[in-house]
Structure 1
Amino acid sequence: MELSVIISTYNSPEWLEKVLIGYSIQSYKDFELIIADDGSDTSTKVLIESFSNKFKQIKHVWHNDVGFRKCEILNKAIAASAADYLVFSDGDCIPRKDFLQIHFDRRKKNHFLSGGYFKLPMSISKTISSNDIETQNCFDLQWLKRQGLKNSFKNNKLSNSLFKTNLLNAITTTQPTWNGHNSSGWRKDILAVNGFDERMKYGGEDREMGERMMNNGIHGIQIRYSAICIHLDHSRGYVNEKDLTYNASIRKETKMSKATWTKFGIEKN
C-alpha cells in the first residue's frame, strides 16, 4: 500500500465513528488505516472491529490508560506502519472525500505537507449523520449555514475551487508546521528524527517533531486550503498551564540547539 494513515483517539467512539465513515469513502483507496489509541475502553475496540470489512487493512494500536501519552502511542503506530508515506490526523477530524488523494498527489521528496482543519461548534458536530458524511453535505458551506454556521473568512477553507485554494495556500501568512490533525511525510524522514518526543504532554507536541524535521533539512509545504477535514468539537479537560510550559521549554531547546534527534522517541537506546 502507498499510504499508512495514522489516526489518534482516546475514548471518543461517537466522533471516531464519523471519522471512520469519512475514510471509508475516500476517493483514494490504496491505504492502510492505523488507529493510535491512547488507552480507550472496549467500546472503541468494538467500533474499530465493526469497520474491519471497510478497509484493505485496519490496525488497532493500543496501550493502557495511565494519562496523556499521545506521542508514545503515535510512535508505536509509526513502528506498526507498512507504507513509505504516512498521513496523520485525529479521531475528531472527518476527512473530505479527496483528503487522501491530495496528500498522495502533493507528496514531495525532502518535504512534509502541512494541513489544517475547519472547526465546527458542538451543535453542528452532533447534527452530522452518517448520511451527511457519505453525501458530503457536512463539507457544503450552504448546508452548514442552514445548521447555524456563522459567516467568517475561515469559511474559505471549504472551497472546492482549485484556483482559489492554491492562491490562498500561496498568500497565507501561516507558516507550514507539522500539525497532528492534518500532516503527512515520508516514513524515513520521520524515523531519521526518531519520531515524536514522548516527554511531551498536550500543547505543541506534534509541532516539536516537525521542528526537528526542519532542522534536518525537511521543508514544509502549505496545503491548509486543499486537504480539508472538519474538526468536531469536544471538551479539553486535559489542558493545563504546567504541561504547556513544560512543552514550550522542550520546543525552545529544540530550536536553540537545532536538534535533529530526540533520545525519547521510537528508539530508546
Structure 2
Amino acid sequence: MTPQKMGVVITTYNQPKWLKNVLFGYEAQRHNNFTVIIADDGSGQPTREVIEFFQARGKLTIQHIWHEDKGFQKCQILNKAIAQTDCDYLIFTDGDCIPEPDFISIHQSLAEPGYFLSGGYVKLTTSVSDAITEADIASGVIFNIDWLKKAGQPTNHKLWKLIKNKTIKALLNAITPTKATWNGMNSSTWTSDIKACNGFNEDMQYGGLDRELGERLYNHGLKGKQVRYSVNCLHLDHPRAYDNPETWKKNYAIRNDVKRTGRFWAENGIIKSTPQSH
C-alpha cells in the first residue's frame, strides 16, 4: 500500500536561518506532491517572516502550526500538528535538517503497513553548516561526499550514508548493528498508527522524547525498518539551550516504564485520557 497524501512535520524554535535552508531543501525535492507542516514551538517574528517568504514563492504547500512560547513544549506542538493534518503518512524531521533531493520519494516508496522507517542523518560541523548557500542546496551538491570533504567536513564512516550505490546502501542497512529506532530528525509512519498510540507523550522534555514514541509504536505492534543508509538529511550544527542532565534522567525513567509495562497509549498525548478508556 502506497501513501496517498504525504506530509513532512518540521519542528522549529527560533532558528530562522537554518529553517530557511531546510525549506530550500524541500523546494528542491524531485517529488513535489506533499505538504510541509511546520510545528513551531513559539518562535518569534523572524521565523514567521521566513515561512511567509516561502508561502509567497508558491513552490511549497505550507501549514504553520504555532503556539505561544512557554518554554520547551515540542511534544505539545507536535501533537497539535498531528491532530490537524489530513495526511495519511507523516515524515518527522527538524528545522535544522536539510533533506536530500529524493527524501520524500524514498520515504513514500519504502512505506509499508505495520512498519515505521528509521532514516539517517549526517551531522555537519559548524563551519560547513555556515558555508552552505541556497545555490548549493538547489543543485544538491551538498550531498556529494567529495564536496563536503572540500568544505571541511571530517572524513569518517558516517559519510558512507551518502554513498549513491543502492546495492551497497541495502547491504549497509542489513549489516548495521544499530537498531531501527524512532529519531526526530528522520523517521516516518502512518498517521493512523501514531494516533493509535495517542501521539507524543507530553510529559517528555528535551532528550530522547522521539525514542519514547518509537518504543510505544513497537508495543503497539509496529516493526522498525532500518533505512539509515537509504534516506538521509544533513544536520546543521548549532547550540542546544534545553540540554540538561535532569530532563534526561526524567525521560529515561518514563522510557524504562514504557518498556516495563509494554504500554503504547500516551496518557498525556493528543487526547487527554487514561488507557482504561481505550
TM range (shorter): over 0.9
Alignment of 1:194-213 (within 5 A): 194-213=198-217
The match for 2:37 among 30, 34, 38 is 34
In 2, distance between residues paired with 1:81 and 1:33? 10
**Which of 103, 107, 125 is the equivalent residue of 1:99?**
103
1:167 matched to 2:171: yes
Give the counterpart of 1:11 among 14, 27, 30: 14
> Are 1:234 and 2:238 an aligned pair?
yes
The answer for unaligned runs of 5 or more in structure 2 is: 274-278
For 1:86, the equivalent position in structure 2 comes to: 90
Query: CA shift at 1:40, angstroms?
Result: 0.4
Whether the 8 Å contact between 1:32 and 1:55 is mirrored in structure 2 is no
Which secondary structure state, in structure 2, belongs to the residue aligned with residue 117 of structure 1? Answer: strand
SS in 2 for 1:51: helix
Match status 1:244 vs 2:256: no
Q: CA deviation at 1:56?
A: 4.8
- 2:230 alignment partner, SS class: coil
Q: Pick the aligned partner of 1:46 from 40, 46, 49.
A: 49
SS at match of 2:120: coil
Q: Could you tell me how far apart the structure 2 residues matched to 1:150 and 1:231 are?
A: 14
Distance 1:80 1:51 in 2: 21
Render the CA deviation track for 1:75-128: whole Å, top value 9, x for unaligned: 011112111101110000000000111100000001000012100000000000
Match of 1:140 among 129, 144, 152: 144
Secondary structure of the equivalent of 2:240?
Answer: coil
Q: Is the 8 A contact 1:33 1:55 kept in 2?
A: no
Percentage of identical aligned residues? 49
SS at match of 1:49: helix
- 1:176 is aligned to 180
Q: Is the 8 A contact 2:123 2:237 kept in 1?
A: yes
Does the alignment pair 1:72 with 2:76? yes
Paired positions, count: 269
Q: Is the 8 A contact 1:8 1:36 kept in 2?
A: yes
**Alpha-carbon distance between aligned partners in 2 of 1:252 and 1:224, rounded to the nearest angstrom:** 25
Deviation at 1:158, TM superposition (A): 0.9
Select which of 23, 38, 41 maps to 2:26: 23
Unaligned 5+ residue runs, structure 1?
none
Q: Secondary structure at the match of 1:113?
A: strand
- Provide the rounded CA distance (Å) in 2 between the counterparts of 1:134 and 1:125: 15
Tell me the CA shift for residue 260 of structure 1. 1.1
Q: Deviations over 1:227-251 (max 9, x none)?
A: 1100000101210111000000000
Q: Secondary structure at the match of 1:58?
A: strand
TM-score by length of 1: 0.98
Superposition TM-score, scaled by structure 2 size? 0.95
Report the CA distance shift for 1:91/1:167 in structure 2 as closer, same or farther (over 3 A): same
Rounded to whole Å, the distance in 2 between the matches of 1:149 and 1:87 is 27
* Letter aligned with residue 12 of structure 2: T
Name the CA distance, whole Å, in 2 between partners of 1:69 and 1:171: 36
Task: Kindly indicate whether the alpha-carbon contact (under 8 Å) linking 2:142 and 2:148 is maintained by their aligned counterparts in 1.
Answer: yes
Match for residue 161 of structure 2 among 131, 148, 157: 157
Equivalent residue of 2:32, what SS? coil
Distance in 2 (alpha carbons) for counterparts of 1:123 and 1:15? 13
* 1:265 lines up with 2:265 in the alignment: no
d(CA) in 2 for partners of 1:25 and 1:198? 33
**Residue in 2 aligned with 1:115?**
119
RMSD between aligned residues: 0.9
Describe the SS at the equivalent of 1:167: helix
